[in-house]
């Protein structure tokens, strides 16, 4: 059932979520968000500024001692219940995600919403399982460690998988006793606000999760600068990551950064070439290519180059963008007019620098639609081979042997993910250990699980989300000494 709030557009105005209640922005300001599929007004949000962030952080700070001391079984129960409520509201949440981002409804229903719920189920289990150690030290002493929550976590997320990325930050932070102020992206704040309500319904006390909507340079920057925020957990663009890290230095707060990518997807001639080429289409164009791990550089062994290019071009031509609310649609519009302009300028640049446009590249309105675009004859020094486009644009690059593939794979400032397709086990594992990336997929692509650590190297950032790894980053160790004699 699609709920109350979605039956007519534009949606009713949304407000911040502070202390388990809606709140207007202190200055009474708002901003507008458009529906990417139509270009029409979708919703008006409260425009958060410093004073709104201050109210949210004060609420989170006041709630921290109580939540940190809450019985871990109770924290586990709240998180599990939140996962169940997310699943119970799957239709509505998926619908909101589509209206906000333009992603196909089938993807939202099968990935975004259920994976967000999984994240809550997974971290529910960890609430009772993270603990310190006893350490054998010299002398008559008992030494043990306590793993303590950090305090208020500032979570800042991008627009491409809003609910899922919010879940990845909120669930582990709450599991280990932190409180959170979440700043969702200005392009897609709807499901973050719903998450606040869902957690309140699950029994989360007021102030433990607060959501402040607004612009990055206003609400986001105020959160980063706030002295009572212990850590900023950021996912977004590399440039923004740099700004955040500089700004966080003033208060010496911890920072983790999940940033951009330009991931190589490498197909060797000894792979199941047709399967690899078909998978390369989804690797590049899933979610309109608006995915940080997109396999946006397709490295193909020269002797199968033309065969792969043909399969990829055919596959891309079948992914024509359409109405994202139609269950048959595989590709929706891009998230905003500004982003469409950016992606189109990269397509022009690719042509101007001499790459061959094999297919796609046209845009149409209303809405921010662009066709999946495949470039061949791409050289490593071209802009479309180096910069993150974050749209449906694929650069196909030939190579001759494994050493050349490894060299080209690393010829980027990013290091988020890589794909390797071969039937040769030694080659696959050898290359997996050579490639500088946070995640490597062998004979598959874009696999994620709440249990498996995920993050980048080089300018794709640092810190890990998912799995146990993030819990260590969201807690600090205290060493306690007890004299025994």
* Residues within the interface to ligand NAD (CB under 6 A): 156-160, 183, 185-186, 215-217, 220-221, 224, 235-237, 240, 243-244, 258-261, 292, 388, 390, 416, 456
Q: Which is nearer to ligand NAD, 118 or 388 (CB)?
A: 388
| CB 217, min distance to ligand NAD, A | 5
| CB 233, min distance to ligand NAD, A | 11
Reference 240, options 202, 278, 185; nearest CA is 185
Active site residue 258: yes
| CB 258, min distance to ligand NAD, A | 3
Q: Which is nearer to ligand NAD, 127 or 418 (CB)?
A: 418
| CB 292, min distance to ligand NAD, A | 3
| CB 66, min distance to ligand NAD, A | 28
Q: Which is nearer to ligand NAD, 244 or 431 (CB)?
A: 244
**How many angstroms separate the first and last alpha carbons of the chain?**
67
Pairing of strands 417-421, 356-359: unpaired
DSSP 292-357: TT---EEEEEGGGHHHHHHHHHHHHHT-----TTSTT-S----S-HHHHHHHHHHHHHHHHTT-EE
| CB 305, min distance to ligand NAD, A | 27
Give the number of other Cβ atoms within 10 Å of residue 398's Cβ: 21
Residue nearest to ligand NAD (CB): 216
DSSP for residue 465 = B
Q: Which is nearer to ligand NAD, 277 or 471 (CB)?
A: 471
Q: Which is nearer to ligand NAD, 177 or 455 (CB)?
A: 455
Q: List CB contacts of 445: < 8 A, sequence separation 6 or more.
A: 265, 279, 280, 282, 283, 295, 419
DSSP 187-220: T--HHHHHHHHHHHHHTPPTTSEEE--S-IIIII
CA angle 112-229-50, nearest 5°? 90
130, two tokens: 């993270």
| CB 266, min distance to ligand NAD, A | 20
Q: Select which of 186, 258, 358, 388 is catalytic.
A: 258
Burial of 471 (0-12, 13-18, 19+ CB in 10 A): buried
Distance between CA atoms of 329 and 59, rounded to whole angstroms? 42
Q: Which is nearer to ligand NAD, 85 or 343 (CB)?
A: 343
Phi–psi pair at 126, nearest 5 degrees:
-80, -20
**Beta bridge pairs of residue 123:** none
Whether residue 265 contacts residue 445, with contact meaning beta carbons closer than 8 Å, is answered with yes
* Furthest-apart CA atoms within the chain: distance in Å: 79
Packing angle, helices 113-126 and 162-175, rounded to 10: 10
Whether residue 245 contacts residue 102, with contact meaning beta carbons closer than 8 Å, is answered with no
Q: Which is nearer to ligand NAD, 263 or 376 (CB)?
A: 263
Distance between CA atoms of 263 and 292, rounded to whole angstroms? 8
| CB 52, min distance to ligand NAD, A | 14
Q: Which is nearer to ligand NAD, 177 or 438 (CB)?
A: 438
Place of tokens 């007004």: 41
**Which of the residues are catalytic?**
258
């Amino acid at each position: 059932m699609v709920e109350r709030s979605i039956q007519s557009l534009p949606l009713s105005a949304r407000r911040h979520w502070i202390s388990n209640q809606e709140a207007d922005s202190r200055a009474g300001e708002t901003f507008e968000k458009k529906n990417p599929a139509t270009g029409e007004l979708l919703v008006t949000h409260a425009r958060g500024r410093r004073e709104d962030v201050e109210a949210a952080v004060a609420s989170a700070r006041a709630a921290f001692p109580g939540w940190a001391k809450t019985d871990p079984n109770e924290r586990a129960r709240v998180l599990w219940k939140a996962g169940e409520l997310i699943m119970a509201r799957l239709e509505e949440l998926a619908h909101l995600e589509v209206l906000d981002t333009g992603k196909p409804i089938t993807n939202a229903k099968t990935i975004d919403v259920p994976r967000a719920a999984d994240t809550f189920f997974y971290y529910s289990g960890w609430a009772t399982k993270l603990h310190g150690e006893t350490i054998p030290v010299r002398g008559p002493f008992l030494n043990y460690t306590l793993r303590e929550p950090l305090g208020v976590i500032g979570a800042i997320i991008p627009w491409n998988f809003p609910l899922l990325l919010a879940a990845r930050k909120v669930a582990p932070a709450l599991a280990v006793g932190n409180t959170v102020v979440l700043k969702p992206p200005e392009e897609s704040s709807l499901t973050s606000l719903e998450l606040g309500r869902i957690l309140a319904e699950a029994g989360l006390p007021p102030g433990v999760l607060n959501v402040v909507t607004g612009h990055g340079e206003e609400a986001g920057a105020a959160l980063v600068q706030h002295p009572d925020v212990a850590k900023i957990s950021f996912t977004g663009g590399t440039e923004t990551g740099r700004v955040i890290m500089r700004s966080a230095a003033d208060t010496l707060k911890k920072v983790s950064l999940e940033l951009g990518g330009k991931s190589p997807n490498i197909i060797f001639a000894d792979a199941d070439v047709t399967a690899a080429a078909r998978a390369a289409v989804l690797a590049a164009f899933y979610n309109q290519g608006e995915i940080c791990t997109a396999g946006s550089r397709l490295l193909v062994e020269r002797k199968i180059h033309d065969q792969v290019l043909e399969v990829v071009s055919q596959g891309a031509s079948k992914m024509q963008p359409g109405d994202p609310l139609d269950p048959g649609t595989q590709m929706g519009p891009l998230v905003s007019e500004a982003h469409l302009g950016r992606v189109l300028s990269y397509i022009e640049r690719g042509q101007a620098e001499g790459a061959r446009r094999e297919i796609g590249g046209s845009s149409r309105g209303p809405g921010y639609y662009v066709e999946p675009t495949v470039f061949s004859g791409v050289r490593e020094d071209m802009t479309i081979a180096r910069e993150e486009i974050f749209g449906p644009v694929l650069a196909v690059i030939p190579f001759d042997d494994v050493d050349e593939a490894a060299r080209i794979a690393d010829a980027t400032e990013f290091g988020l993910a890589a794909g390797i397709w071969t039937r040769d086990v030694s080659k696959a594992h050898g290359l997996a250990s050579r490639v500088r990336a946070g995640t490597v997929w062998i004979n598959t692509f874009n696999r994620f699980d709440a249990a498996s650590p995920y993050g980048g190297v080089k300018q794709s950032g640092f810190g890990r989300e998912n799995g146990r790894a993030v819990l260590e980053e969201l807690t600090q160790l205290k060493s306690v000494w007890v004299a025994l004699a």
